[in-house]
Amino acid sequence: MSPVQQQMYINGQFVENRSDKWIEVINPATEEVLSRVPEGSAEDARRAIDAAEAAQPGWEALPAVERGNWLIKIAAGIRRREPELTATIVAEGGKTQALAQTEVLFTADYLEYMAGWARRYEGEIVQSDRPNENILVFKKAIGVTTGILPWNFPFFLIARKAAPALVTGNTIVIKPSELTPNNAVIFAEIVDEVGLPAGVFNVVTGYGPVVGQELAANPKVGMVSLTGSVNAGIATMQAAANNVTKVSLELGGKAPAIVMNDADLDLAVKAIVSSRVINTGQVCNCAERLYVQEGVYDEFVTRLTEAFRQVKVGDPAEQATLDMGPLITRAALERVEQKVANAVEQGAKVEIGGKRIGDRGFFYEPTLLTNVRADMAVMKEETFGPVLPVMAFSTLDEAIALANDSEYGLTSSIFTRDLNVTMKALKGLKFGETYVNRENFEAMQGFHAGWRKSGVGGADGRHGLEEYLQTHVAYLQYE
């Protein structure tokens, strides 16, 4: 059977590929070609931006509650097609079935959550220094927005960018990752089925240096939101700079986890292993380096080793109860292999794992490294794979200093039963998020934002919604 040929979605229509250039989408578990999507051009991106620009005034003119109702219709469409979406995400992304299904249903929940803000976001009336005057602060749409997506949570991130944009009166152009575009095509099909006005939501497939560059550099774009690597974020900021376009960036992470002597070790092991093997370690906010206090270090390493041994790995399409699937590409597999090899060369010890699995697909063993030092690359650079380096520490101050010694600042975590220790850690850790006695996974009503090279701006909750708004202040005098 020949691979499915997908289409882009521009101005309310699925459009034919105007060139003979295609991108093959590969199943990372089997290395089979699943589909082909158009290798979009800068002209394709401009057509989508023009369509979004034409649709935006009419979309903004609708009452916010009507815009929210469209999101609810899309959420219902997602729930109807959940089995198909789950299977698609498993096939193109290598996710376990449970995680893929969670992503699909969470996306529907997120659209409904953001729809609820239609009646709740608001402006202000500020007291004036003058008599007979009010200062009115209006919150208004930015205009045309664009969203550039990664492959690790490809379906949810459509909603994370589109839902707050649309409910506040903006229109949007989405560029999915070239590695996982099939789910975005289904999202566009759902948008088309519910009858969302043409041009409000658009999907252009292609590569970042071409399509992504245009989505960031086009002067008609009022805001570009990207989730991806630090290098991709820098390129986006540079492209947006000429037009002083607003950017919102969620970039890399090297999240530290701190385990104190008084921690619930069973809970800590479960949470840290979950954070490390979820999506095969390809999650920017999950634990990437571990610091364990000296009093429980040996016992904790023993428990971690056994927990890693119990992790079930395989083709997620064939088994419903797996903990972990493949890495996303052969290049990703080779990168993880090289990072572990470099760490071993510098003196690290492999407690368990450290090798690829089989000769088909991009599988790698859950890997625990000890005898590491703070200056090693494996403790500094994002690995993005199922590899966890662990160090011992003596005092909380030392652990906080080690945790903060990073160019990243997305998430962090600590495990302790002492409230005083918790509060000291919360005061000292320099990260956008800290998780206490739980796995690293954010809530839709929180605010997901990084410090330092982990990003600019943020997403989720009221603060994430306000990323898609700009202020208009009116000084109103009356007789």
- 31 flagged as catalytic: no
HSE-CB at 430 with a 13 A cutoff on CA atoms is 13
Of the candidates 229, 336, 218, which has an alpha carbon nearest to the alpha carbon of residue 277? 336
**Neighbouring residues of 461: CB distance < 8 A, sequence distance ≥ 6:** 444, 445, 446, 447
Place of tokens 């815009």: 67
How many whole angstroms separate alpha carbon 58 and alpha carbon 418? 55
Q: Report how far apart, in Å, the C-alpha atoms of 138 and of each of 132, 170, 413, 459 are.
A: 19, 15, 38, 21
Of the candidates 10, 12, 11, which has an alpha carbon nearest to the alpha carbon of residue 38? 10
How many whole angstroms separate alpha carbon 368 and alpha carbon 306? 10
How many whole angstroms separate alpha carbon 292 and alpha carbon 408? 20
**Count of positions (residues) in the chain:** 479
Q: Considering 214, 250, 365, 439, which one is annotated as catalytic?
A: 250
Report the side by side order of strands in the sheet with 469-477. Answer: 124-127, 133-141, 469-477
Helix (H) or strand (E) holding 252: none
**Neighbouring residues of 344: CB distance < 8 A, sequence distance ≥ 6:** 350, 354
DSSP 8-state code for residue 144: E
Are 316 and 96 in contact, with CB atoms under 8 Å apart?
yes
HSE-CB at 72 with a 13 A cutoff on CA atoms is 10
Q: Report how far apart, in Å, the C-alpha atoms of 213 and of each of 216, 264, 340, 376, 457 are.
A: 5, 47, 33, 34, 20
Q: Report how far apart, in Å, the C-alpha atoms of 228 and of each of 148, 249, 384 are.
A: 8, 8, 12
Of the candidates 386, 351, 356, which has an alpha carbon nearest to the alpha carbon of residue 369? 351
Report residue 392: phi and psi, to 5°.
-90, 155
Are 199 and 55 in contact, with CB atoms under 8 Å apart?
yes
> Which long-range contacts (C-beta less than 8 Å, at least 24 apart) are formed by 267-271?
267/415, 267/437, 268/300, 268/415, 268/437, 269/300, 269/303, 269/304, 269/307, 270/307, 271/413, 271/415, 271/437, 271/438, 271/439, 271/440
Show which residues are catalytic.
Answer: 250
